[in-house]
Amino acid sequence: MPDFDVGDAQYVPLPRDCLRQYQRNFVRMQSSANETKKLTAVSLLPAKLREFVEENVRICCPSNVQVCDGSDAENQLLVNKLIESGTIVSLPKYKNCFLARSSVKDVARVESRTFICTRNRRDAVNVPRGSALGQMGNWMSLEQADKAIEERFVGCMAGRTMYVIPFSMGPLNSPYSKIGVQLTDSAYVVCSMRIMTRVGTEVLEKLNSDQDSYFVKALHSVGRPASGQVEHPHWPCDPERTLILHKPEFDEIVSYGSGYGGNSLLGKKCFALRIGSTIARREGWLAEHMLILGVTDPKGRKRYVVAAFPSACGKTNMAMMRPSLPGYKVECVGDDIVWMRFDQHGQLRAINPEFGFFGVAPGTSGSTNPVAMETIFENTIFTNVAQTSDGGVYWEGMEDPAPGVTVKDWLGEPWVPGSSTPAAHPNSRFCTPADQCPIIDEHWASPEGVPIDAILFGGRRPQGVPLVYEAFDWKHGVFIGASMKSEATAAAEHKGKAIMHDPFAMRPFFGYNFGHYLQHWLSMANKANVKLPKVYHVNWFRKDKEGKFMWPGYGENSRVLDWILRRVNDEPNTAQVTPIGYVPTKESFNATGLNVDFDGLFSVPKEFWTEEAKEVANFLYEQVDQDLPQDIQDQIKNLIDRLNSYQTN
Ligand code: SAT
Ligand code: MN
């Protein structure tokens, strides 16, 4: 329940009025302190957090402030409120599931409006050569950022509640975890953050007991158009002025104007990746856009691997894979983000900093991801999927609705199969608790993390790129990560299927200069006594001359894991050398029972790769220019040399 309430505030856009409002609010906060002796009373918050809340109450002028305790009761009140405002509807076909329809103008991450704000531009982004446009993130000065914040945030929460969400990225008892506090005026965001992160009073207790009460500050408002006219009252937003700002020097995130996904669930991309990568660099570890899975072979040997694919390229499917190879078992640790570091024994260990899955709905079905289908029909918030007349959901790829059941598309309009427009938005999502996954790994929330033996990079590459290949060594592995490309996806505002560079699947998520990031990855090899994991590149999406996929994917990808485990276990005669890395020998790759063109899947066409190497070299030299590490320059030269002397038969 709110700590204090100042009634229905008017929209007050001027700073002066805001200050007056603040004075009134503050008096009430003081008096509520005497009445409420609970941990969630604003006045009893740890000093630094209280300061953060008060400062932003002063700016945003909410009509009341509610510190979230993460309880079921609190969640129920918020759900009721969201149903009342028309933001979500209940889905009676399932248990405790809801559907939200966003504004049509707020459906994906907005990379063009996402900025890293630092004193020096070069700390934040790579500085491209000449007049080339930077492709790896945007920079804004701290002064510009403050001006933009002032223009947008003053009075933006008038008439609304400001929720204070204390959350932990990673298990609360893990030394790898970090705390954040998000202020937001969206109840939908509170409910979603509660699924995606660990929210609640335990976090406040930890902040209270920690000496420095350190937390990442995250301020979010769905905003209010400058005209004052909110187009869709059930989903307020301000798409014209949306801005997502990060200040790594202050561990601060400020997001305005959008309520969707990574724009508004600030623990995810903003904290765990952008700010996280800058903290990781400072502290000597890695914050990456990767799934984590455990794989057990028929002999009972278990290994964990991480895999980086760009958004909407099948990370969730792989993390929940049901292996087709007999005797294999896959267990899921995480589907999107990893924080990993070498422990005192030199073993790379990883945690999943998240608590839920924010997965792409379309394409998820009993055949592509049966495990996800067993996970998501309880305690889930769906956004922008279609709705069925029997109180369920529907999306492209899902089994057709039963006869007599009608469908409303993601906009709420009647929809019939075969329509020219999709039923679900291509970036529609399920937001679901991770521990509901039937194959969640028993160590998924272990404070010490899980040991990692292999790192996979991958993307959607229709041409030229083998199903799997292995890096010669760590430096070559870092170069492979830097060279990643993939077809554009619906997760951001890009259109079409152009092949885009997406180094480490981090292009939209770097918190600092990509050249420095490469150096940081390379520097892992300089740590004393570390056991560097093997590095791979995988591509499930190669197409033949007729444009058909050459590889069935999904559960059959366990055959690739099988080969990787053989390599990790140092089995002899498992690899042959090509200019781009090791590919499997025919006898070491289990294709039994599959009708696939082995030679075609693993071929390394000289012409394609000569072009590819040139293009990647141009990209890296042009984009990273003076910050391109010498080791990467050497890798480019080595690849070109190997290709020049490559004899194909
Ligand atoms: O950034 S989101 O969390 O909206 C999804 C993604 O791009 O992976
Ligand atoms: Mn992602």
> What does 146-203 look like in DSSP terms, one character per residue?
HHHHHHHHTTTTTTSEEEEEEEEES-TT-TT-EEEEEEES-HHHHHHHHHHSEESHHH
Q: Nearest CA to 620 among 473, 453, 494, 507?
A: 507
Instruction: Find the mean pLDDT for residues 67-88.
Output: 97
Instruction: Find the mean pLDDT for residues 507-518.
Output: 98
pTM of this structure: 0.94
Instruction: With beta carbons less than 8 A apart as the criterion, state whether 179 and 168 touch.
Output: yes
CB distance 560 to ligand 1 below 6 Å? no
Which residues on neighbouring strands pair with residue 4, listed in sequence order? 65
Q: Provide the Cα torsion 47, 51, 54, 60; round to 10°.
A: -140
Does 626 have pLDDT greater than 50? yes
Strand residue runs (E) in 450-510: 450-451, 454-458, 468-470, 485-487, 499-501
CB distance 109 to ligand 1 below 6 Å? yes
Alpha helices in 250-310 (DSSP H): 261-264, 276-283
At 26 the pLDDT is 54
CB distance 315 to ligand 1 below 6 Å? no
CA–centroid distance, 341 to ligand 1, in Å, is 24
Q: pLDDT digit string (tens) for 467-502?
A: 999 999 999 999 999 999 998 876 677 666 789 999
Strand residue runs (E) in 371-464: 381-383, 386-388, 393-394, 407-408, 414-415, 429-433, 450-451, 454-458
Instruction: Find the mean pLDDT for residues 515-520.
Output: 98
* Neighbouring residues of 351: CB distance < 8 A, sequence distance ≥ 6: 170, 171, 174, 176, 177, 338, 339, 340, 446, 447, 449, 450
CA–centroid distance, 40 to ligand 2, in Å, is 32
Instruction: With beta carbons less than 8 A apart as the criterion, state whether 574 and 566 touch.
Output: yes
CB distance 380 to ligand 1 below 6 Å? no
Question: Ligand 1: which of 102, 106, 109, 428 to mutate, most ligand atoms within 8 Å of CB?
Answer: 109
CA distance linking residue 127 with residue 625, whole number of Å: 7
Instruction: With beta carbons less than 8 A apart as the criterion, state whether 635 and 476 touch.
Output: yes
CA distance linking residue 244 with residue 226, whole number of Å: 17
Which residues on neighbouring strands pair with residue 499, listed in sequence order? 487
CA distance linking residue 461 with residue 476, whole number of Å: 20
Task: Give the closest ligand to the alpha carbon of residue 336.
Answer: 2
Amino acid symbol at 440: I
Instruction: With beta carbons less than 8 A apart as the criterion, state whether 409 and 424 touch.
Output: yes
Instruction: Find the mean pLDDT for residues 577-583.
Output: 98
Using CB atoms within 10 Å of the CB of residue 592, give its burial: 0 to 12 exposed, 13 to 18 middle, 19+ buried: exposed
Amino acid symbol at 556: E
Mean pLDDT for the chain? 93
Q: pLDDT digit string (tens) for 133-182?
A: 999 999 999 999 999 999 999 999 999 999 999 999 999 999 999 999 99
At 649 the pLDDT is 60
Nearest CA to ligand 1 atom 3: 262
CB distance 274 to ligand 1 below 6 Å? no
Higher pLDDT, 27 or 378: 378
CA distance linking residue 489 with residue 427, whole number of Å: 9
Using CB atoms within 10 Å of the CB of residue 404, give its burial: 0 to 12 exposed, 13 to 18 middle, 19+ buried: exposed
Task: Give the closest ligand to the alpha carbon of residue 428.
Answer: 1
Which residues on neighbouring strands pair with residue 349, listed in sequence order? 341, 451
Active site residue 313: yes
CA distance linking residue 538 with residue 310, whole number of Å: 12
Q: pLDDT digit string (tens) for 397-417?
A: 998 899 999 999 999 999 999
Which residues on neighbouring strands pair with residue 455, listed in sequence order? 306, 535
Question: C-alpha angle 442/346/558, rounded to 5°?
Answer: 45
At 4 the pLDDT is 31
Instruction: With beta carbons less than 8 A apart as the criterion, state whether 384 and 425 touch.
Output: yes
Q: Nearest CA to 517 among 623, 637, 636?
A: 623
Using CB atoms within 10 Å of the CB of residue 310, give its burial: 0 to 12 exposed, 13 to 18 middle, 19+ buried: buried
- Identify the active-site residue in 313, 332, 431, 437: 313
Does 221 have pLDDT greater than 50? yes
At 10 the pLDDT is 33
CB distance 379 to ligand 1 below 6 Å? no
